[in-house]
Amino acid sequence: MVLGVLALSVLGMLGFLFRGLFDPNRLPPSDWRLFQKRFITADGRVVDTGNGNVSHSEGQAYAMLFAVAYRDRAAFDRIWAWTRKNLQVRPGDKLLSWQWRPDYQGGGAVADPNNASDGDLLAAWALLRAFRVWQNFEHQQAALQILADLARLDVRQGTDGLVLLPGTDGFVKPEGTTLNLSYYVFPALQEVAAAVPGGPWDKLAKSGLALLAKARFGEWQLTPDWILDGDPLVPAPGFPPLFGYNAIRIPLHLGWQNLRSELMQPFAQFWRKCREKNTFPATVDVVTNAWGADPALPGMRAVADFAIACAEKQSLTVRSLPVLTEEEAYYSASLNLLTKLAIRELSAQP
């Protein structure tokens, strides 16, 4: 009898492992191993290999999210420790300086003390997820401190609702407020709103969606990286009017929060046309409609596949996307892993 129970237990465990191993939405362990090898130093600095090997708050936060997703507590602790020591150094608040350069001041230092609100939001999101997984109250406290200062310094009234400043300094000018709608990380805002009732996060998400519905330009009705808040919205002066390396994240954020969002349709329609032409540009000028000469990064192609699948109500699995390769630079690799994480989490929803 005991042997029979043991046999059933072993078979059950083997079945669980078998199902996990062949789950089409399992996050590939090889992706995380390669990401750490290529982009994370021994002390937890995340290196942007496509941008002079700088580090920034966005990259640190993405890596923290990945570490939680892969249940890698040691990696998370290293990344957060480096972030806290080197970026959370602004006097008067707990926000993160956005850029650290290895060649600055002779040995590596913050090169721009201004924050980037997406990096702050992403870091707080990762810390809240870490708290849920590992029950370390210091993670929760750190997240709440970042969110309190983010709400105090970077959330303000815009033309038609609350807006999220891209950073505390330099984005509010007499001609208007410059916004970056890829900084509205909708799944993060959703989770933060649930974790911090009474904050501005629900209203901010709703106003961000309303802005996206209006921030459509050119033949393809795409959203540029930078816009100027106002009535009407316009591409922000001083920035190229491109749907590009920033705005590529918008459809990812939309689908991650609501895979049936109607706001996904223009992005999907554009990328369907790219499939027909077998040409995927990294950028599109929303004023002239000209396609940029540089091809989309592999990670950008992953986002495009995700957007089309969402818009067409098709199934897309983690396994259907390419595994990370040695050739991919930091940003492409990050988009690759983020898209897979979104698919994994959406597949787990009832």
How far is it, in rounded angstroms, from Cα 89 to Cα 107? 17
How far is it, in rounded angstroms, from Cα 65 to Cα 124? 10
Query: Which one of the listed residues 31, 58, 225, 305 is annotated catalytic?
Result: 58
Task: Please indicate whether residue 77 is annotated as part of the active site.
Answer: no
C-beta separation of 287 from 241 below 8 A: yes
**141: which 2 tokens?**
């406290």
Pairing of strands 162-164, 172-173: unpaired
How far is it, in rounded angstroms, from Cα 36 to Cα 78? 12
The amino acid at residue 180 is: N
Backbone dihedral angles phi then psi of residue 278, each to the nearest 5 degrees: 55, 40
Residues in the chain: 350
C-beta neighbour count of 301 within 10 angstroms? 20
How far is it, in rounded angstroms, from Cα 188 to Cα 178? 21
Quote the strand ranges of the chain, DSSP E.
55-56, 97-101, 109-115, 155-157, 162-164, 172-173, 176-179, 227-228, 234-235, 242-243, 284-285
Task: Please indicate whether residue 58 is annotated as part of the active site.
Answer: yes
Q: Positive or negative CA dihedral for 229, 204, 284, 260?
A: negative
**229: which 2 tokens?**
């808040």
Query: Which one of the listed residues 31, 48, 93, 118 is annotated catalytic?
Result: 118
> 166's torsion region: left (phi>0), alpha (psi -120 to 50) or beta?
alpha
Give the residue numbers annotated as catalytic, written as ranges. 58, 118
